[in-house]
């Protein structure tokens, strides 16, 4: 019965707690997402957004609670290449000697042999992914020579090449140009139609209203969770940000 229930969800995180050396970073957080849903993860710096991503990718161990991905354990879902993580631009070593092609190919590593030697199908997948993010002309450009938006698209292409069913995106709209922003929002719609599930963290309130079916407001734990239209209220946002008004935090446009 239990596993039947799990199968309905792409992501099911149940009362998860994470602490770093006894310092609590996240507690009693629950999140359930189905196929085709886009959920915004909103909170202050240090509210546990990155920790939430870390937990879902298996990068940190849970001190309590459990996570199921497509009804499976994290270990199985990792083997299945189910989750792709698209890092923040700041989290990338831009001086690393790799080009766009190399990075997108990393999305295929999990399904290759031990030497990670690409098969024809891998090469095709990488080509297609690079085409979808409109970087064909930059295929062999070193990562250091790319703009912020192009870098973001490179890592999106890696997630596409991985053929993951779940995408975790850390600040996908931070520091990108208009063209990239437009391309990302088009991709989001395509992903949604393909039945992929997206969890994205963002500081931009407008993007939440624009793209996210659901929103998860966190401040070490879940402050509010549900349909964006119902949950994303000024009161909830204010309490998520420790009593400060969103206007103060995000400027008048929000």
Partner 1 sequence: MDGSFLTIDINSFITEPIAHEFMRKAILISILITSVCGLLSSFLTLKGWALMGDAVSHAVMPGVVVAYAIGVPLSVGAFVFGVGSVALIGFIKHKSRIKEDTVIGLVFTGFFALGIVLISKITSDIDLMHILYGTPLGIPLSDVKQTIFISFLVVLLLSIFRKDLMLYCFDPRHAKTIGINVSFLHYLLLTCLSLAAVVGLQAVGIVLVVAMLITPGATAYLLTDKFDELSIISVLSSIISSLIGIYLSYWLDIAPGGSIVLVQTFIFLFAFLFAPRYGIFKVKKLLSSSN
Footprint of partner 1 on this chain (CB under 8 A)? Answer: 21, 54, 57-59, 75, 78-79, 81, 83-85, 87, 92-93, 96-99, 102, 106-107, 109-110, 114-116, 140-142, 144-145, 158, 162
Q: Which is nearer to partner 1, 1 or 114 (CB)?
A: 114
Min dist. Cβ of residue 204 to partner 1 (A)? 23
Q: Which is nearer to partner 1, 170 or 204 (CB)?
A: 170
Min dist. Cβ of residue 223 to partner 1 (A)? 26
Q: What count of other Cβ atoms lies within 10 Å of the Cβ of residue 81? A: 16
Tokens coding 141: 């450009």
Min dist. Cβ of residue 1 to partner 1 (A)? 28
Distance in angstroms (rounded) separating the CA atoms of residues 19 and 15: 13
Q: Which is nearer to partner 1, 59 or 248 (CB)?
A: 59
Min dist. Cβ of residue 85 to partner 1 (A)? 5
What's phi and psi for 22, nearest 5 deg? 85, -10
Q: Which is nearer to partner 1, 162 or 240 (CB)?
A: 162
Q: Which is nearer to partner 1, 109 or 250 (CB)?
A: 109
Tokens coding 204: 């931009």
Look at the alpha carbons of 179, 182, 187, 190 in this order and tell me if their dihedral is positive or negative. Answer: negative
Tokens coding 247: 């206007």
Min dist. Cβ of residue 45 to partner 1 (A)? 19
Q: Which is nearer to partner 1, 75 or 182 (CB)?
A: 75
Min dist. Cβ of residue 166 to partner 1 (A)? 10
H-type alpha helices, the chain:
2-7, 49-57, 74-79, 100-106, 120-132, 148-162, 178-193, 205-211, 228-231, 234-240, 246-250
Do 211 and 40 meet the contact criterion of CB atoms below 8 Å apart?
Answer: yes
Look at the alpha carbons of 33, 34, 35, 39 in this order and tell me if their dihedral is positive or negative. Answer: negative
């Amino acid at each position: 019965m239990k596993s039947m229930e799990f199968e309905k969800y792409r992501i099911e995180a149940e009362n998860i707690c994470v602490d770093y050396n006894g310092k609590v970073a996240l507690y009693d957080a629950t999140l359930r997402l189905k196929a085709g849903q886009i959920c915004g993860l909103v909170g202050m710096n240090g509210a546990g957004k990155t920790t939430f991503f870390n937990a879902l990718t298996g990068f940190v161990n849970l001190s309590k609670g459990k996570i199921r991905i497509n009804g499976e354990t994290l270990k199985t879902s990792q083997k299945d290449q189910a989750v792709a993580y698209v890092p923040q631009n700041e989290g990338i070593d831009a001086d690393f000697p790799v080009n766009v092609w190399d990075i997108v190919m990393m999305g295929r590593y999990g399904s290759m042999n031990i030497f990670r030697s690409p098969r024809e199908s891998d090469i095709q997948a990488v080509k297609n992914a690079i085409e979808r993010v409109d970087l064909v002309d930059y295929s062999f450009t070193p990562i250091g020579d790319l703009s912020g938006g192009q870098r973001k698209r490179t890592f999106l292409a890696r997630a596409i090449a991985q053929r993951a069913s779940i995408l975790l995106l850390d600040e996908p709209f931070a520091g990108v140009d208009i063209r990239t922003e437009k391309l990302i929002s088009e991709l989001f719609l395509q992903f949604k139609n393909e039945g992929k599930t997206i969890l994205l963290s963002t500081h931009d309130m407008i993007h939440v209203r624009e793209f996210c079916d659901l929103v998860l407001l966190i401040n070490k734990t879940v402050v509010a969770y549900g349909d964006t239209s119902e949950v994303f209220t000024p009161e909830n946002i204010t309490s998520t940000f420790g009593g400060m008004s969103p206007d103060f935090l995000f400027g008048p446009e929000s």
